Amino acid sequence: MKKFLPSEYVKSIYHININELKAKGIKGVITDLDNTLVEWDRPNATPDLIKWFENLKKNDIKVMIVSNNNENRVRLFAEPLGIPFIHKARKPLVKAFKKAQVEMGTANNETVIIGDQLLTDVLGGNKAGIYTILVIPVASSDGFFTKFNRAIERRIMANFKRNGLIEWEDEK
């Protein structure tokens, strides 16, 4: 069960302290797209998200989007921002995470993975040996497969709480 336990849990990407990442030696961020950065049905980045990406860049932290979604969805979002991406990543398999690290030139201890799902982002990041940050999904609705994953995630989170493995409260 501990493979599903994130290293850190925050309300949103905007609650991640970039100065703390830099102080930890983080040089690369691998991030999910849908319901992590924007709602799964929002085609473009928000002005706040653009500022967040610019702040990472100002701090010499590279970013790569790693998504299980199709190429068209990820490309249309990432290309206008000049952010490299991997589509159809097949998370939680670690291959896409390792490929992202090679492209960014970062080691495990220099990389974080940010995502909204235990079964894909956190599990895959933990299997890869990378620091994982779980965020609350930005949308309250999900696509078909994600709805199935969320039901399983609720059970895992309840187990963590029962066993004292997590201290955070549910936030929405």
Q: What is the pTM of this model?
A: 0.88
Reported as a single tens digit per residue, the pLDDT across 123-148 is: 999 999 999 999 988 876 666 666 77
Query: Which stretch of DSSP H or E encloses residue 98?
Result: helix 95-104
Report how far residue 62's alpha carbon sits from residue 111's, in angstroms, rounded to the nearest whole number.
Answer: 9
Report how far residue 53's alpha carbon sits from residue 127's, in angstroms, rounded to the nearest whole number.
Answer: 26
Provide the CATH topology of domain 2-162: Rossmann fold (3.40.50)
pLDDT surpassing 50 at residue 171? no
CA distances for 162 relative to 72, 134, 155, 156, 159, angstroms: 41, 19, 11, 10, 5
Reported as a single tens digit per residue, the pLDDT across 30-88 is: 999 999 999 988 999 999 999 999 999 999 999 999 999 999 999 999 999 999 999 99
